[in-house]
Amino acid sequence: MNVNTGADEVAAAESPVSGADYLRQENTMLQKVMEAQQQELNSLRSEMTRMRMDNLQLKKENAALKRMPLFVASVLEKLPENEVYLRQMGNNQEYVTQTSTEIYAQITSGCKVAVNNTLSIVKILGDTVDARVKVMELEEKPKVTFEDVGGLADEIIEVREAVEYPLTRPEAFERFGVIPPKGVLLYGPPGTGKTLIAKAVANNAGVPFLRLAGSELVHKYIGEGAQLVRDLFTLARDLAERSSGVVVFIDEIDAVGSMRTNDGTSGSAEVQRTLMQLLAEMDGFNTRGNIRIMAATNRPDMLDAALLRPGRFDRLVKVPLPDSAARSQIFAIHMRKIRAAKAVAKDVNVDELVALTEGFNGSQIEAVCREAGMIAIREEEKKISLKQFLDAIRKIKNEEANGIADIMYT
């Protein structure tokens, strides 16, 4: 049965709107939606630009934070919700800190981390070997020879007697019943060849050269100083067993061995612990042994008297700024390669250069030779002439006057 209610006819009669009008309405509505979405897109884009700028800023801040001296802590336990239970090395202070998901995922309990002064974890250090590698420098076979050291003939003799001969001629010391000095302290202005002498002695004795920078020890690895000194001597003993000996060189020893201030700060307590460890290690081994200890400082006046007592650094050798004869030798050393390349022009008179470099240290004379070469290359010369040497001397003098060079002595 066909039941027609008449609704279809009514709809057809009431919808003259459908068709083109309906589509127009739909189109208008879609256009509005599109406009709204476009607006949203624009605001998201500007949000994104802002976030990118924020991100850049944060990256800069993060880099700045990483450059600041950091404390070392070890992870005791990982707590829920990105929290970490840490113990700071050195003062053993314990605390809980929140960390990023990224760092949280990478750390395990027992691992070492670097924290900034707000006690947030900035980077993961891994195990102590990392830190050891960073503060110590090992040259199994140092290449520097005494021929590379200008002037300093008397100083070299003193160092050889105290460091090299106990390694190479121990029987002579036995025969005469002489106990060689335990440690040799080289002191004097920066850049005068202290490290150079230590390396040359190690080379001549045919033993490895192990260097530790005192300043890095206390400024970069706060809390680990004493442990690193222990590590240094463990490594030295290993090396001495493998080869016929080792030369240990502690550069900038004043950073560790400054006079005790007792100002009660955790920093000075930390430096003291490091110094005590160093003294204990020095007291703990045999003078005739094959570990020879050298140290260097620009500030001998700052050193704790305990370091200079007999049985510790008991031979002091002053390494002065070079006089004119020494400067002439240093020029000869650093011009060796240039001469070998036949690149020194005829007008270069070393005596003139020596006279103009009064007060320069060895490192600055080396810089003069290097700089003169660079200027000659820039000026497309075939040889380095007097003019380029004079320009280089002027440049180094200016750097010194502007405080760029590390000269602090007069």
Q: How far is the CB of 369 from ligand ATP (least distance, A)?
A: 9
Residue closer to ligand ATP (CB basis): 73 or 149: 149
Q: How far is the CB of 195 from ligand ATP (least distance, A)?
A: 4
Residues lying near ligand ATP in the complex (CB under 6 A):
149-152, 190-196, 251, 296, 298, 330, 333, 362-363, 366
Got the DSSP string for 159-180?
HIIIIIHHHH-HHHHHHHTPPP
Q: How far is the CB of 323 from ligand ATP (least distance, A)?
A: 11
Q: How far is the CB of 189 from ligand ATP (least distance, A)?
A: 7
Report which secondary-structure segment, H or E, holds 14: helix 7-14
| Closest-approach residue to ligand ATP (CB) | 362
Residue closer to ligand ATP (CB basis): 192 or 274: 192
Residue closer to ligand ATP (CB basis): 99 or 298: 298
Q: Which residues contact 113 (CB under 8 A, 6 or more apart)?
A: 72, 73, 74, 75, 86, 103, 107, 121, 122, 123, 124, 125
Residue closer to ligand ATP (CB basis): 125 or 296: 296
Torsion, Cα 351 356 361 365, to 10 degrees, reads -70
Q: Which residues contact 62 (CB under 8 A, 6 or more apart)?
A: 122
Token pair in block for residue 393: 């001397």
- Angle formed at CA 194 by CA 159 and CA 374, multiple of 5 degrees: 140
Residue closer to ligand ATP (CB basis): 132 or 194: 194
Residue closer to ligand ATP (CB basis): 181 or 190: 190
Question: b or e along 77-108 (b: 16 or more beta carbons within 10 Å of the residue's beta carbon)?
Answer: eeeeeeebebbbbbeeeeeebebeeebbeebe
DSSP 303: B
Q: How far is the CB of 279 from ligand ATP (least distance, A)?
A: 22
Q: How far is the CB of 362 from ligand ATP (least distance, A)?
A: 2
d(CA 107, CA 292): 39
d(CA 155, CA 321): 12
Q: How far is the CB of 86 from ligand ATP (least distance, A)?
A: 35
Residue 209, Cβ neighbours under 10 Å: how many? 25
Residue closer to ligand ATP (CB basis): 204 or 298: 298
